[in-house]
Amino acid sequence: ASFQSGSRSILLAVGGENKAVVDYAVDLNSKNFDSVLRDTPATHAIVEFFASWCPACRNYKPHYEKVARLFNGPDAVHPGIVLMTRVDCALKINNKLCDKFSVSHYPMLFWGPPSKFASQGMEPKEEKSEIRMIDDGRTAEHLVSWINKHLGSSYGLDDEKFENEHLHSNTSDPGQIARAVYDVEEATAFAIEIILEHKMIKQHTRVSLIKFLQLLVVHHPSKRCRKGSAEVLVNFDDLCPPDMWSPDKQEVVSDGKGMLGNFQICGKEVPRGYWMFCRGSKNDTRGFSCGLWVLLHSLSVRIEDGESQFAFRAVCDFIHNFFICEDCRRHFYQMCSSVTVPFNTSRDFALWLWSTHNKVNKRLMKEKASLGTGDPKFPKVIWPPKQLCSLCYLSHNRRENGTSQIDWDMNEVYKFLTGYYGKTLTSLYKEKGHLGDEVTDGAIVDLVASTNAVVVPVGAALAIALASCAFGALACCWRSQQKTRKPRRSWN
Ligand SMILES: Cc1cc2nc3c(=O)[nH]c(=O)nc-3n(C[C@H](O)[C@H](O)[C@H](O)COP(=O)(O)OP(=O)(O)OC[C@H]3O[C@@H](n4cnc5c(N)ncnc54)[C@H](O)[C@@H]3O)c2cc1C
């Protein structure tokens, strides 16, 4: 099979009806090699160079596939860790590629960070090269134990999906949040799917969606989601016409999801169908609700002071109108409604969201039966625990009745939140300058140029203006306007 770039196409190719006959390892060639390896969320890759005429390679294939089953495809037991691929050096198209990697025998396996494969190629003899040959992968058992040795893991060929023993609690390793940037993309795409599936865009909820999209356009940690959100916003009236759920429209658009259903807000590779940081030990735990929290926190540490009240309203209204869990949104909205003084600083909003999330955690710690979203392997804690941020704790007294009283150092908590959901969250992300305004604005300026700025539909423009009062017709210009504008109370 030949694959287009990116893991979405990989998932499609290995999933579906032909699963029994389709390979798990991804076929690469000189055309898709760089893009697949650059775009994968996996932290490691194996490339097998083989030749289709080579009998040893044919014998080796079932071994390689047995390992690939663990890591590749939508039913992977351990997704997002190792992308397993192969290149057929017997194909003329791959001659240069195989030469670049100095392939001296078949099959020959290399290991390394995917992006390093995708860059200039390797210098295998250089000691510092992060790409290395796998010297003992001659059977599935050997290959898995080679991987385990290098990752410090204990994967086994018999591992089954879910009831997953190998998950580490994310409270113990602060670096794990870096993987959450992919979950934030997943959650964004997933949220739109749910909204459409449940026909939640109504006359009275449109403005709320527009406001939330405005927030995403400027502050989503993923550049492609920022770009996609801007495209949705600019074309809002076409993608979500006020009568989008009327029976005549339903005939025109596919699967009842309207035009927006054909649009992938974070690009064609998302949703991928699996979670990384938010992966639960069971099929139906964590996932989306975890990804949504992470998205909200990562927005809260990116906004500017003048946007804090707007962001607060946008988040509260979004959850109220579009979060499918009835009890969750009701509780959350109660907490929103209890805020009486408008937020003036992004710090205040980020800390409010943090403490609100902790109130939910506290409630769920007590409630024996949560709404089924809880995961026994990820017990609720008051967050961040000391292992993640000891400086956040001024004092921590445990009472006799089992409860505890924590005195937080709010400055340290805020510092921690901005580091954790700001820089660390995007540290694996492969786009340069994703936190930098230049890139953000650059992408948006490109978009404005390509969509001819004045085309914002009247309805959407009106809604945007209504939603934010101070915004111009284009959310895309929002950021530059805000920089020269003092915080406005009219956003309340
Ligand atoms: C707005 C909202 C309201 C919800 N209300 C309910 C409800 O009423 N009842 C219910 O059963 N479920 C509710 N849920 C789901 C529930 O909160 C969890 O999302 C779900 O149980 C999965 O938990 P988790 O272990 O993945 O961690 P989550 O609580 O989803 O948190 C995700 C990650 O955020 C980090 N984190 C944890 N606490 C904080 C904090 N205070 N500040 C910053 N980061 C933190 C941790 O790394 C954690 O792994 C709600 C979800 C959302 C988004």
- CA-278 nearest atom, ligand 1: 26
The residue nearest atom 15 of ligand 1, judged by CA position, is 289
Give me the helices (H) in 259-345, please. 288-300, 308-322, 326-337
How do residues 369-400 score in pLDDT, each as one tens digit?
Answer: 556 667 888 888 999 999 999 999 998 777 77
pLDDT for 255 equals: 63
How do residues 119-128 score in pLDDT, each as one tens digit?
Answer: 655 555 554 5
| Residue to probe by mutation, ligand 1, list 168, 289, 364, most atoms within 8 Å of CB | 289
Contacts of 130 (CB under 8 A, 6+ apart): 112, 113, 116
* Residue 421 Cα to ligand 1 middle (Å): 15
**Catalytic-residue membership of 290:** no
* CA–CA separation, 219 and 349 (whole Å): 14
Residues in contact with ligand 1 (CB, 6 Å cut-off): 170, 278, 286, 289-290, 292-294, 297, 319, 323, 327-328, 331-332, 354, 357-358, 360-361, 364, 370-371, 373-375, 378, 383
CA distances from residue 153 to 127, 140, 178, 239 in whole angstroms, order as listed: 24, 16, 19, 46
* Residue 356 Cα to ligand 1 middle (Å): 10
State the pLDDT confidence band at 205, using cuts at 50, 70 and 90: very high
Look up residue 448 and give its two tokens.
């404005």
| Cis peptide preceding 107, ω within 30 of 0 | yes
How do residues 269-288 score in pLDDT, each as one tens digit?
Answer: 888 888 889 988 877 788 99
Q: What integer is the mean pLDDT of 420-431?
A: 83
For residue 182, the number of C-alpha atoms closer than 13 Å in the C-beta half-sphere is 26
C-beta of residue 470 within 8 angstroms of C-beta of residue 488: yes
**Catalytic-residue membership of 54:** yes
Look up residue 422 and give its two tokens.
């700001």
Q: What integer is the mean pLDDT of 215-236?
A: 95
pTM for the whole thing? Answer: 0.76
* CA–CA separation, 386 and 470 (whole Å): 42
